[in-house]
Chain A
Amino acid sequence: MTAWLRERRAILAVAIGSRVLVLAAAAADHWLHWPKGPPPPHGASTSHTLSILSYWDGAWYRTVADHGYLLIPGRQSDPAFFPLFPIVLRGLNGLGLSFLTSGLLVANVAFVVGIVAFYEVSRRLLPLDVAKTSALLASLFPMSFVFSMTYPESLVLAALAVALVFALDGRWTLSAVAGAAAALGRPEAIFFALPLAAIAIGRARASGRVAGGRAIGAAFAPVASVATFPLYLGWALDNVSAWSHAQHAWGRAFSLDGIVHAFQQLHEPGSSPWLWRDVGFCLIYLGLLASARRVGISWPWLVASAALLLLPLTSGTFVSDARFGLLALPVYWGAAALARRRVVRLPVLVVSAALLVAGTMTIPLANP
């Protein structure tokens, strides 16, 4: 145990340290009343020191945790948000914690678990130094302030990384459970059915046998889990299409020419300048995926990550692509491959940490 901890001490320290940075920046934002953005959406508290971490979608997850789902036609409504995070919030609220405290606790603890699990995935696939650097970079990644917000991203990161570790170790039932949990947190988790399937086939080939039923089941678990959400909405709201109707009201209607609209939106008068942040990160993520290929990351991982980045664009907008890409794990491997040398790694980590603080401070200005 001590040896296990010793090996991961630096990673744990940076993961926890990065969260301290984010929480401190959020608190500074609150105390300084700067920068002032538009008023937060209904239900978001502004009085708590860490309130800004519960802004934007956080208010919607809280509504679901408190009241459940309701599709409100013609308006933005909550069936657009997946249920795992609100279920956990509701559970902790039942134990006496406020929704804000529950959300912050879950997000930050899950992030640390997620980073350690991500390191475990990385060291099974890559040289130890790249694995370590990728975990450090993921902790301090400029957009990683989202992992401290009352959003499901950190819970999904943890579940996804745990599912992949179990799969790489051949513990398929546990992998299936974790994969199903990840997909109940965010639908993007289904893209990782591809690397899970690749792991199952790879292990089967190595042992000279066909992939077992549990291995195939683990690859399908995220897909099966995602499918239960519309079914649940059909049962609870008498509307099996509630998720897609709600997505539509949020301006996310998926179509073949969506990517063209996404580019057109950039030049529309009155479009938010924050869109360029999403465009910039999208390009960075794609570059880092190319770099991940150079350290030998296989195609199923890259295809899953590219789909995770590019498929949301078919809804006609770049909005939040910077956040969606946080779950494309090979991105961090690509970054680690570029920052492998110490002379590069240290400045990159310092600049990332500075951008992480800056990103946190801008939460009131734009939905990440």
Chain B
Amino acid sequence: MTRGKTGWIRLAVASAATAAGLAALLAGAAFGLQAVTLPRPSVNQLLAAKTLHWLTAQHAIKSTAFVRGERVSSICVNATIGPLHAYPKRLHASLLVTGDRRLVETRFASFRLESTVREEDGPLPTVQAVLAGCPRALGRRIGRFLDDRAPVRAEHVFLRGATMLRLGFRRGHSRLLVIVNPRTFVPVAVRIPRLRTGWSYLALAKRHDLDGPELRLSPQLRLVVKEEA
């Protein structure tokens, strides 16, 4: 029996419909399987991830804190450091400038910049970098909480005449509070409650903030520290 042109078209359409139907059915089942079996992150964890996403796109942030009633301003820019004796590869870093003090913080170690580069011991430099809103240091701290799937609390707070969102991270003894703009997820203040420090208020650094003399490094230091902003 021979098949006419219409017959072939009908057969092709029927085959295509069956193929599409089968593929769609299986795709639906595959999607359903994932949706039913795998847990979803909490809404607050997703908010925190959005804040982190914003931080990863920043190169420089300025901050203001009140220490013993005195206003202390800092500026932090992304940088790289190396090669150094103990660290032969260049490391992603944050260059934190507070007054005339300059600190370079990395995931592995921190360094004080004076006439030379001197390694700093202890966790304090990292804490300072987090409180100064250094995009890398603060991002790393939030990222660690999210890595561990630490629960994130979110509360509405009133700050500078606007409603903001306070994200609270807690894992064991480690805690972090970040106030973010609820529409843009931009962090505006940060605090580490365990240290009994006050809030540090953050803002995006502008071009003229980066032109200050404190950010100009000596030719010798420029061989190991390079700003990325």
Contact = CB atoms under 8 A, between A and B. Distances in A.
Contacts of A71: 49
Interface residues of A, number: 47
B193 interface: no
A141 to B, nearest CB: 29
Contact of B53 (A64, A70, A73, A217): A73
Nearest to A63: B149
Nearest to A86: B38
Nearest to A221: B26
Contacts of A213: 14-19, 21-22
B56 A67 contact: no
Nearest to A180: B26
B139 interface: yes
A87 interface: yes
Contact of A176 (B15, B26, B56, B148): B26
A270 B91 CA distance: 13
A83 B19 contact: no
B38 A228 contact: no
A73 B52 contact: yes
B41 A218 contact: no
Interface string A86-118: 110011000000000000000000000000000
A68 B39 contact: yes
B89 A270 contact: yes
A35 interface: no
B99 interface: no
Contacts of A176: 22-23, 26
Given A72-B49, A72-B147, A86-B38, A214 B18 contact: yes
Nearest to B88: A270
A213 B38 CA distance: 32
A232 B149 contact: no
Contacts of A4: none
B85 to A, nearest CB: 16
B19 A220 contact: yes
Interface string B26-40: 110111011101111
A229 B34 CA distance: 8
B15 A236 contact: no
Given A72-B52, A72-B146, A73-B52, A184 B30 contact: yes
Interface string B49-71: 10011011000000000000000
B63 to A, nearest CB: 20
Contacts of B12: 210
Contacts of B198: none
Contact of B147 (A75, A83, A87): A75
Interface in B1-25: 11-12, 14-24
Nearest to B148: A42
Nearest to A67: B149
A139 B139 CA distance: 45
A210 B18 CA distance: 13
B10 to A, nearest CB: 11
A26 to B, nearest CB: 26
A236 B31 contact: no
B229 interface: no
Contacts of A69: 38, 41
A182 to B, nearest CB: 11
Interface in A207-234: 210-218, 220-221, 223-225, 227-229, 231-232
Interface string A115-144: 000000000000000000000000000000
B45 interface: yes
Contacts of A177: 26
A74 B107 CA distance: 13
Contact of A217 (B14, B20, B39, B140): B20
Contacts of B84: none
Contacts of A169: none
A344 to B, nearest CB: 42
Interface in A286-333: none
A183 B29 CA distance: 13
Interface-centre pick from B22, B27, B49, B53 (highest chain A CB count, 10 A): B22
B46 interface: yes
A68 B40 CA distance: 6
Nearest to A71: B49
Contact of A212 (B18, B24, B33, B139): B18
Interface of B: 11-12, 14-24, 26-27, 29-31, 33-35, 37-41, 45-46, 49, 52-53, 55-56, 88-89, 139-140, 143, 146-149
Task: List the 10 closest pairs (A to B, CB-CB), nearest first.
Answer: A213-B18, A217-B22, A74-B56, A216-B19, A68-B39, A217-B19, A213-B15, A73-B53, A224-B23, A224-B27
Given A72-B49, A214-B22, 17 more contacts: A67-B41, A70-B41, A70-B49, A73-B143, A74-B143, A90-B38, A180-B29, A184-B30, A213-B19, A215-B19, A217-B18, A217-B19, A220-B19, A221-B22, A225-B27, A232-B35, A236-B35
9 contacts: A67-B149, A73-B143, A74-B56, A210-B15, A216-B15, A216-B19, A217-B18, A224-B23, A224-B26
